Chain A
């Protein structure tokens, strides 16, 4: 059994530390002495496990008690932290229709300019089919879309970051995007397996000031950390990007390459770094509270709804103003393009206050 030193900032990590090291009482002696970060408690454990036969059971029991003690301390600590941060579990909704109707002409054109989006699409040659699909479809609706790849491909153009580590690659892409943003103020980070309706993203952030920090998507919780799920797309305002660039310089709080032998997913690393700058994840939803960011495909969501809400399948399923879906094949995406940008029932009009024109170089929308 290898003794793994690592971060102990979560309950599961701590327990794993103890169990992985001390399954066999005999080995524990040898392994423990090799551990760089042994603590007093651990030394006590080792000595108590010297006795034969019952060493395993003792290890289990002591590990369990240690685990409970650690979690008690954690809750106690985070209890004192959360008082000042009501920002957690924030729900972000689009501007109301009433507010939109009150807009003046000049405000409308201001907002149309302000709400332009820079899309960062993080690709790898392994995902070539999805890369090509994104290239042919939704990425054309971004005001600027840049593909960032781990290594170049002859088939498609991208900025080659020459970086295999996903977190390091994301950092580089963010830096590049920030430096090349021009006057674009909203940023959307996605993998090519995600499909995005950029117009609905603009609708969500329409009345939000990008010189304020925003970090939006489908939020999940990991222990005390709220983070935006990568698979359903990440939205960042210009200010959030600026703070991110700053904290990237801090190798202690936001390291480029972690010390851990197991890797924390980039989505959580991003959330942690942003948290240090005072930026917190917000869940994007519509006026009815339905999530706008999905990592599942439309057909998958419909199937789920048929099971859960057979009397009201479509109403209960997904938002009319949904922004992202995931895991869809290229053919399904062709149908989605047709469904979003073309197919409609005649005579039902939405007099939307803003107009977004179709892109110049496509025929499927």
Chain B
């Protein structure tokens, strides 16, 4: 009956609140996160720009996994792309100090996904809120190129309430971000998410994690950002590269009705600076790591020359000599305090 349903909801919310605070106390003792000290450098490269971004665009990655997938999937995430995050946390239903994973007192299963997500964001806010500027969620079959995520995020402020991912259009007015392709919240967005649960503006509305989160984001005034590159090519992808590049996503598939921006198939489907792919199995993870960070064509002049984010000047030491290009691009005020991003306003 309706009364029962209401009672249950109230009980659950109450339990949820006390549960969350209980969790925080328990987790103090053991460090179950992985902090990487510096970006990885490639053989024979000049990684100064990547290093600068590593220091100034700090990303915490949390990976949704479970006890049955540690050896099958999460292990390969750990061996590949998660090494490029500033901090990485593997979220499971059970603590595992060896892997390490954080267990958040959920069960396993698709219906637990939003619970895991809610608790995961609360956990990372509590433990690492001050150590990162951006907070990425990914699955254990998502492949993320964190350096490219930094390129996108560098032009935005972590104090802005914004989140990025592969934007879908149904159900939510401003759209919401695909869960599988991964999405990233600014620090302010994360604050508002956590605050939303405290004030009950946001609750566990459904187990469809990405949609439910998207609805919460809209409620608390967090903007759904445009993550496309300067040629309007998508960076977050809900499938493997082959599907997008060879145009093999069937026209009757849900995908065609979901994408917020016009779908492009073939070579222009995907930015050179792609951020994520989904449904990536273990051998594919290593393949993508090889293609991204290793295999290259000697001396090749890339067709796409991405502009440097206009805050690089701010990131570097004042007495360093910068090239002429960067000086020109710098139309941004260099005052202390709130940094506003012109791109953000355009994309609203």
Residues of A within 8 A of B (CB): 97, 197, 199-200, 202-203, 298-299, 302-303, 305-306, 311, 313-314, 317-318, 320-322, 331-332, 334-336, 338-358, 363-365
On chain A, the residues within 8 Å of B288 by CB distance are 339
Q: How far is the CA of A335 from the CA of B244 in the complex (A)?
A: 10
Q: How far is the CA of A341 from the CA of B80 in the complex (A)?
A: 21
B151 touches A343 (CB 8 A): no
Question: Contacts A314-B286, A346-B147, A347-B147 hold; do A363 and B267 have CB atoms under 8 A apart?
Answer: yes
On chain B, the residues within 8 Å of A354 by CB distance are 298-299
B297 touches A341 (CB 8 A): yes
A332 touches B242 (CB 8 A): yes
On chain A, the residues within 8 Å of B273 by CB distance are 344, 346
Q: How far is the CA of A300 from the CA of B282 in the complex (A)?
A: 13
With both beta carbons as reference points, the residue of chain B lying nearest to A356 in the complex is identified as B299
A339 touches B292 (CB 8 A): yes
B274 touches A343 (CB 8 A): yes
Which residue, A302, A317, A363, has most C-beta atoms of chain B within 10 A?
A302
Question: Contacts A313-B286, A346-B50 hold; do A320 and B295 have CB atoms under 8 A apart?
Answer: yes
Q: How far is the CA of A345 from the CA of B148 in the complex (A)?
A: 6
Stretch at the interface among B200-208, B209-217, B301-309: B301-309
Q: Is B293 at the interface (CB under 8 A from chain A)?
A: yes
Which residue, B42, B49, B286, B293, has most C-beta atoms of chain A within 10 A?
B286
A352 touches B245 (CB 8 A): no
On chain B, the residues within 8 Å of A349 by CB distance are 45-47, 49
On chain A, the residues within 8 Å of B274 by CB distance are 343
- Indicate with 1 or 0, residue by residue over B240-256, a CB within 8 angstroms of chain A CB atoms: 01100110100000000
B282 touches A306 (CB 8 A): yes
Interface size on B, residues (CB 8 A): 55
Please give the distance in Å from B47's CB to the nearest CB on chain A.
5
Q: How far is the CA of A203 from the CA of B299 in the complex (A)?
A: 8
Q: List 10 A-B contacts (CB under 8 A).
A: A298-B287, A298-B290, A298-B291, A311-B79, A321-B296, A341-B300, A346-B306, A348-B46, A349-B46, A363-B266
On chain A, the residues within 8 Å of B49 by CB distance are 346-349
B295 touches A318 (CB 8 A): yes
On chain A, the residues within 8 Å of B53 by CB distance are 346-347
Please give the distance in Å from A361's CB to the nearest CB on chain B.
13
On chain A, the residues within 8 Å of B300 by CB distance are 199, 341, 356, 358
A199 touches B298 (CB 8 A): yes
Nearest 9 Cβ contacts at the A-B interface: A339-B291, A347-B50, A345-B147, A347-B49, A203-B298, A199-B297, A346-B151, A352-B299, A342-B272
Of the candidates B47, B270, B298, B302, the one whose C-beta lies within 8 Å of that of A344 is B302
Please give the distance in Å from A100's CB to the nearest CB on chain B.
10
Of the candidates A322, A338, A346, the one whose C-beta lies within 8 Å of that of B245 is A338
